[in-house]
Amino acid sequence: MDASRLSSHLDRLRSIGATADGGVSRLAFSPEDVEGRSYVSGLMTEAGLAVEVDAAGNLLGRRPGRRRGAPALLIGSHIDTVVNGGAYDGAYGVLAGVEVAATLAAQGIELDHPLVVVAFSDEEGAYGTMGMLGSHAFAGVLPEDAAAAFDERGRRVGDLLRAVGGDPAGLAGCAWRPEDVAAYFELHIEQGDVLERLGVPVGVVETITGRVNVAVTVDGVAGHAGTTPMEHRADALVAAGRMVLAARAIAAEERVVLRATTGTCEVSPGMWNVIPGRVRLGVEFRDADAANLDAAVTRLRELARTVGRESGTAIEVRAGARTSPVACDPDLRLLIAESAAEYGLPCHGLPSGAGHDAQVIARIAPIGMIFVPSRGGVSHAPAEYTAPEHLAAGADVLLAAVLRRDAQQEAPNNQEKNPIYLTIGSQS
């Protein structure tokens, strides 16, 4: 792999949507996203890939295989970012996939299987959209009303899709069948600090945690801040504060789930001199076990009843969007570990605390995920960084994994194994 070329492409892409403090704002469907997609499309063409955009706005680069009718090997991720995010999240996986294709072309290597590099649309959920929209459509599990929905700016999702070359009327037609895919690989920065702490250059993802979004609405009584006695108040924000701590305790103290975060807080009427009458909170739970996600929502409702009774408020806890946890394919995990061993690279088995398009694609194909270290575990922020040598190592492992899987003419069985990497500091 040409490590300097990969780094150069990453630097160029990070300049599209660059912010003053070193971050990147390239939200899905934005002008910056359109420009970034055009740049990646050009790289795909240079790498010998036939480029197309499907109805869901997914950018695909195809390379034919020698074996007629063989299912495709997919490499995917996304290039959209959060507001003032980092330069590597998602983009690294897409550009490394393009580099795999470029390397194969430069060395005259033909695969038996077709190779398809995918930049999925709207992974991050820009402007309040569902997130992972492109991969849901690709896997045939996109809600029927997805194109008719509106984002938080009042723009229809179908119109956003048209802006990036999609077709809201043809969404059903962009779904792939399980028999069309031999394997899906996703290379990604870890977005945590496990690999860095261990000094291990390659992570083999075992499980991708699921998540559930929970809307918490607290209704109190708005009143004059100067005339309402403290003991007569039904302050929605005070009760909401207790709910924030309750959500945290479900993970940090009760250990019901792995992670709990309250990420949004909307206070109404939002005046300095008015007791808050309503507060809306956005809570997210994450765990590798779907039953634990259910238990966390149930526990939050129990705590809401207690807080509401004691504070004189009415609290509604409503579960919303949900992504199920998935396990990475054991055969592909072993294959990735063997690929790392080719380069003498130690690897470590670990779960992914972040969500990825891979967990949606798992509905139609075996998935394998490769992690490389993130400095300080920072992600979704300007300080997001992965050293060039780690970027290069991950790309080499990805290429080796694609070649190994291509050599397997029959689909690997799904029997659980004891992969060799599990002897190297596994969390399993």
Q: Report the C-alpha gap between 312 and 216 in whole angstroms.
A: 16
For residue 219, what is the enclosing H or E element? Answer: strand 210-219
At residue 422, does pLDDT exceed 50? no
Q: What is the DSSP letter of 119?
A: E
Q: How far is CA 339 from CA 46, 118, 205, 291, 396, in A?
A: 26, 22, 14, 34, 8
pLDDT at 410: 53
pLDDT digits (tens, 9 = 90+) for 236-278: 999 999 999 999 999 999 999 999 999 999 999 999 999 999 9
Q: Is the dihedral of CA 120, 126, 132, 138 positive or negative?
A: negative
Average pLDDT over residues 51-79: 97
pLDDT at 414: 45
Average pLDDT over residues 215-242: 97
Picking from 402, 394, 365, 406, the residue whose alpha carbon sits closest to that of residue 195 is: 394
At residue 413, does pLDDT exceed 70? no
Average pLDDT over residues 286-315: 97
Confidence of residue 285 (pLDDT cuts 50, 70, 90): very high
Q: Which domains are delineated in the chain?
A: 3-209+325-423 (3.40.630.10), 210-323 (3.30.70.360)
Confidence of residue 322 (pLDDT cuts 50, 70, 90): confident
What's the pTM?
Answer: 0.85
pLDDT digits (tens, 9 = 90+) for 143-182: 999 999 999 999 999 999 999 999 999 999 999 999 999 9
At residue 141, does pLDDT exceed 70? yes
pLDDT at 25: 98
At residue 428, does pLDDT exceed 90? no
- The mean-pLDDT minimum among 47-51, 308-312, 321-325, 388-392 falls in 321-325
Confidence of residue 29 (pLDDT cuts 50, 70, 90): very high
- Structure token digits, residue 342: 């080719």
pLDDT at 128: 87
Q: Are 184 and 66 a contacting pair, CB within 8 Å?
A: no
Picking from 324, 302, 304, 322, the residue whose alpha carbon sits closest to that of residue 314 is: 304
* Partners of 323 in beta bridges: 211
Whole-number percent of the chain with pLDDT over 70: 96
